[in-house]
A and B are shown apart, each in its own frame.
Chain A
């Protein structure tokens, strides 16, 4: 216990170096910019910026990525409030009340609410990060082949969760991802699979290349295909970006409720910030004393949505860091960043690499303060950026995709892989398939395969070995719940009237 406290303290000392502080400020700013651009989502933004962190030390690199993540989730609210277009799907619910407030000339207040709620949502979610991660990591030490197999299966049921529109299409995407994950040397006896004499495929398809292609490059194709039109001009606003003491006091219960909702959703794989914001919004409405205000610019609606989506950030890191199971696309990208640094998710992050991990945690806490400061001070500037033309955006994204995939190994073959996945991602989106499911399957496929084949090898082919330990049963039950979660979610979402969930549900 004392040791952990010491590690936590040291984490803050390490995080307070000049380089790390600069990384936080830069990351948050970049994140907000990415977030408030309606064409770019949080996962895309983190994927694009991932290559920048290759040469940084592990803690600084992760802090940058975490900062972009938090910044982007908040940044989405700026365009949601000012131009009624959520910058990321995570701010879809913010647009409902936020834009009404803008129409009433209270844009400043709406932005201040978004910023202040995001700050508290993010900050409170760090508690769970500190508290649950080491516990879960301890548990992960007990995971042997059979448990790893079920862990992978549980993760794969997330695919059902992320495919909000059609489960069949989600499963199709997942199956495609699983197929792609078999490329390379097989993990048990080292047979070459689908390598066609290309030795760069020995370690399988590089996940980072694949996700840059699937998330970013394909988005550039989609943007380039559509007619480039001018975005609605962000309305100038004159009122101050502040909240009064009374307003803060009034919003406090909403923040606490949204934090709990967002945090739990974050930890649960499958559901991400885009679902949390609706749940937070709905909850704020249910408990509000001024229900009649909702739909006409209720400040609590903005708060409920924004606190919830930022509370997801801290929670969603937990399964990724401890079990290597990313629950949604942003954490899948963050996991890529971790692996690039030569770090594997799992218990070692809390023993051998504890110093780095706690520095990252401390950085994540400090990032929230930067978000509050930069968000409040820079709102007016960011509002202008949200109008940036796609004509500028598309070439920028394309260049970053190429540079990024090349930078991984400084090898052109990675660029080719990225482009193939870019085209694949484009086609998948045209057919309403889910690119996030491919990435999840790509990460989870090998975990499951190794677990299943390892367990069967040890037991001599007896399939019952998969049902022996209690941990296995817990994971089996969770998997079953995971499969049915979309039905429950869709029922819930129907209750929330108002803004339609944007197409790129989890991009």
Chain B
């Protein structure tokens, strides 16, 4: 399926290139462009101020087929209608995402290159000095997907039926929490929870979420932190609490950590769309409106039913990036036990 998609995309690109070569053909090649935004009552007036005049490159810092890539491709597919141009996904993976973000930061801020930023992995890469960029090298456009973190244990683990059971046990005994890697998202979650509840634990980095869960299910780890999508449809784990101000829709019975008096902020992972710093306000505005319209499109919503679409405005997203950055930096300064 993806191959055909790629083929179609490639064909579109060829057509778009042809159109660029022969100017008179341009309107014929992209007939949907002006028509579609016109359907949006508010959009056209502002959108006319600036619009991309060729295929838009969208850099994804992970390889094709990765979670971010899948969601990005769905967004790109339905956003073309509102952007009026082909969106070409470019997978630039490696260096824990830092290669792609470096490339995005170095791209020309002409609005023709945008990309995906994964929080908090992006922030970790700055803290670990994997790239030379900072948050100031990017301009936020919008948020796309949000996944909330959860504290989970094995479904048949009788020791822990509530988050209080876990905390009480962990204060008396050494517990092991598997994570998806040193200082990766689920490690950050486990750390935030343990610090707020006042206990120490042994973290067991596994490098990826699949192995992290295997380690929990195999009995090596006592508990772990994972995101909603990681455990979707699983019956062998139970959710004790969520890292959110409000209860998570998928697990209404699980209290939030804030309710129980522990860590009271939202924690999880976010995938947001950003552009290199230096793009004009009109460009940001254009993309923000286009993606907002996309994320409200019923066709998109149907295709995106398997993940949690969460539109946030440019300002909100910028604030989130800064908040996550400050949080991740805080972790590196004495928050870790070692």
Tell me which residues across on chain A come within 8 A of B174, comparing CB atoms: 460
- B204, A411: Cβ atoms under 8 Å? no
- A190 & B210 in contact (Cβ 8 Å cutoff): no
A contact residues around B128 at 8 Å (CB): 185, 190, 192
Contacts A187-B182, A342-B65 given; does A203 touch B94 at CB 8 Å = yes
**Considering the complex, which residues of chain A in the window 384-421 have a beta carbon less than 8 Å from any beta carbon of chain B?**
409-411
**Does chain B have a CB within 8 A of A12?**
no
The reply on A57 being an interface residue by CB < 8 A is yes
Q: Is the CB of A144 within 8 A of B218?
A: yes
Indicate if A228 sits at the interface (CB-CB under 8 A): no
Which residues 180-212 of B have a CB within 8 angstroms of A? Answer: 181-183, 202-208, 210-211
Contacting residue for B205 out of A60, A144, A187, A342, CB 8 A: A187
Contacts of A58 in B (CB 8 A): 65
Cβ 8 A contact of B3, one of A57, A348, A409: A57
Interface SS, A side: loop
A199 touching B99 by the CB < 8 A rule?
Answer: yes
Most chain A CB within 10 A, of B93, B130, B174, B202, is at: B130
- Contact B94 A200, beta carbon cutoff 8 Å: yes
List residues of chain A with CB within 8 A of the CB of B202. 457-458, 460
Contact mask A82-107 → B, CB, 8 Å, 1/0? Answer: 00000000000000000000000000
Chain B residues contacting A200 (CB-CB under 8 Å) are: 94-95, 99
Cβ of A143 and Cβ of B218 under 8 Å apart?
yes
Any B CB within 8 A of the CB of A488: no
Question: Given A342-B63, A342-B64: A409 and B204 within 8 A (CB)?
Answer: no
Complex CA distance for A150 and B1, rounded to whole angstroms:
40
Shortest Cβ distance from residue A152 to the other chain B in the assembled complex, whole angstroms: 14
Indicate the member of A143, A145, A460 with the most B CB atoms within 10 Å.
A145
How near does chain A come to B122, taking the closest CB pair, in angstroms?
Answer: 13
Task: Give Cα distance in the complex from A201 to B131, angstroms.
Answer: 12
> Hey, which chain B residues are within 8 Å of A142, CB to CB?
218
In the assembled complex, A141 has its CB within 8 A of some CB on chain B: yes
User: How many B residues touch A, CB cutoff 8 Å?
Assistant: 40
Give B124's nearest chain A residue, CB to CB.
A190
Q: How many residues of A contact B (CB 8 A)?
A: 39
In the bound complex, how far is the Cα of B210 from the Cα of A336, in angstroms?
19
Check: A450 CB closer than 8 A to any chain B CB.
yes
Q: Give the distance in Å from the alpha carbon of A189 to the alpha carbon of B218 in the complex.
A: 22
B84-118 residues with Cβ-Cβ distance < 8 A to A are 92-96, 98-99, 102
Interface status of B338 (Cβ within 8 A of chain A): yes
A189 touches B182 (CB 8 A): yes
Specify which of B63, B66, B176, B182 is in contact with A185 (CB 8 Å cutoff).
B182
Q: Is the beta-carbon distance between A57 and B98 smaller than 8 angstroms?
A: no
> Across the interface, which residues of A come within 8 angstroms of B316, CB to CB?
none
Q: What chain B residues lie within 8 Å of A192 (beta carbons)?
A: 128
Q: Are B3 and A203 in contact (CB under 8 A)?
A: no
B218 touches A458 (CB 8 A): no
B contact residues around A348 at 8 Å (CB): 210
Are B210 and A344 neighbours in the complex by a CB distance under 8 Å? yes
Q: How far is the CA of A143 from the CA of B215 in the complex (A)?
A: 8
CA distance A447 to B133 in the complex (A): 32
**Which single residue of chain A is at the shortest CB-CB distance from B3?**
A57
In the assembly, what is the distance between CA of A19 and CA of B130, in Å?
Answer: 40
The answer to whether A341 has its CB under 8 Å from any CB of chain B is yes
Pick from A57, A201, A450: contact of B2, CB below 8 A.
Answer: A57
Cross-chain contact A411 with B218 (CB below 8 angstroms): no
In the assembled complex, how far is the CB of residue B200 from the closest CB belonging to chain A, in whole angstroms?
A: 12
Q: A411, B210: Cβ atoms under 8 Å?
A: no
Task: Report yes or no: B204 in contact with A145, Cβ–Cβ below 8 A.
Answer: yes
B98 touches A202 (CB 8 A): yes
Q: Given the complex of chains A and B, what is the CA–CA distance between A326 and B182 in angstroms?
A: 26
Q: Could you jot down 23 A-B contacts, CB within 8 Å?
A: A19-B3, A55-B6, A56-B3, A57-B3, A60-B3, A141-B214, A185-B96, A185-B182, A189-B182, A190-B128, A190-B182, A192-B128, A199-B131, A202-B94, A202-B96, A202-B98, A344-B211, A347-B214, A411-B92, A454-B204, A454-B206, A458-B176, A458-B202
